Amino acid sequence: MLQDTFGRQFHYLRLSITDVCNFRCNYCLPEGYKKDGSPSFLTREEIRLVASAFATCGTSKIRITGGEPSLRKDLPEIISDISALNDVKQIALTTNGYKLDQRIDSWVNAGLTQLNVSIDSLDKNNFERITGHDRLNEIFAGLEKARQLGMTNIKINSVLMKSENAHEFPQFLDWLKTNAYTLRFIEVMQTNDNEVFFRQNHLSGGLIKAQLLEQGWQQVLRDKTAGPAQEFWHPDYAGRIGLIMPYSKDFCDSCNRLRVSAMGKLHLCLFGDQGFDIRHLLQSEDQRQELVAHLQNCLSNKKATHFLQQGETGITTNLSMLGG
């Protein structure tokens, strides 16, 4: 089991397969994706090798991220490769929902077990203003198709922004009365290029948590492979609410996840100050033992916290770099 010097064990890998994104979300890529040279993203075989190595080390959940991972034409094959690893029990995907209704079949057939879709507004016009795309109805159709295919572990990600969508909170609650999704509100996080936007839009999830508890919502116990969200349920609602509050006290104490970028670097934290190259150890199965030793050695550099409260954002320019 991969473990750092603070005794935290890592059951969960967030694996980026591209940093390209076709949306222009105002909190991440307001000017759209800007190509930097000719990026050489991990090949399907390199992805299989890194997933297999992490599985050997006790990783039981792998989330495929981007950018937008569905832009890779070999995504179904990548899911299938990871699904073939006996030690991996959960294969998750985070997507913006682009053409979801056309693609979800192939992902489920390949072995996908959990789906996270970004929906920052339930209002069609506001959704287009935030993301740059008029695709809300298409995304809803994809979600319904995923349910028809038998997917029950579906989560909706919504970045909570003071001047953009916070006014929609009552509408989101009403939506959950009849829709059995887990809606996760994510605090806006400061990166190297969004300081002004962050100051204007950051809203503490702690305020939402207090409101939920007052309204009778109850907190759900975390599983060891769960993400960073605190989840809540209410007997009068079909869906649940999750809160991701990176600025809250002791947020990093329960860290259980590592990240590998689409360029083959291990990142110990979304807001770390460096990535550790592992791609040279993804060229053959014979390098497995050396790769595992390298991963454990890198973990000695993991810090106790991300230092976001001090305004330190590390090397993260935007969230699409590492899949959030």
Give the residue carrying structure tokens 């993804």: 282
Q: Answer yes or no: are the C-beta atoms of 229 and 92 closer than 8 Å.
A: no
Helix (H) or strand (E) run with residue 63 in it: strand 61-65
Report in angstroms the alpha-carbon separations of 87 from 205, 280, 285: 34, 24, 17
pLDDT digits (tens, 9 = 90+) for 62-121: 999 999 999 999 999 999 999 999 999 999 999 999 999 999 999 999 999 999 999 999
Domains present along the chain, CATH in parentheses? 12-318 (3.20.20.70)
In the chain, % of residues over pLDDT 70 = 94
C-alpha span between 316 and 106 (Å, rounded): 32
Residue 249: pLDDT over 70: yes
Per-residue model confidence (pLDDT) at position 302: 93
Task: Please give the torsion angle defined by the CA atoms of residues 200, 204, 205 and 207, in that order, rounded to the nearest 10 degrees.
Answer: -120
Residue 28: count other Cβ atoms within 10 Å of its Cβ.
Answer: 23
Residues 232-244 have a mean pLDDT of 97
Q: Answer yes or no: are the C-beta atoms of 318 and 29 closer than 8 Å.
A: yes
Q: Enter the tokens of residue 278.
A: 């592992």
Q: What are phi and psi of 143, to 5 degrees?
A: -65, -45
Task: Write down the mean pLDDT value for the chain.
Answer: 92
Which is more confidently placed, 318 or 41? 41
pLDDT digits (tens, 9 = 90+) for 144-197: 999 999 999 999 999 999 999 999 999 999 999 999 999 999 998 887 777 888
Model confidence band, residue 250 (pLDDT cutoffs 50, 70, 90): confident
Q: β-pairing, 230-233 with 218-219?
A: antiparallel
Q: Enter the tokens of residue 10.
A: 């890592």
The candidate with the shortest Cα–Cα distance to 30, out of 119, 131, 164, is 131
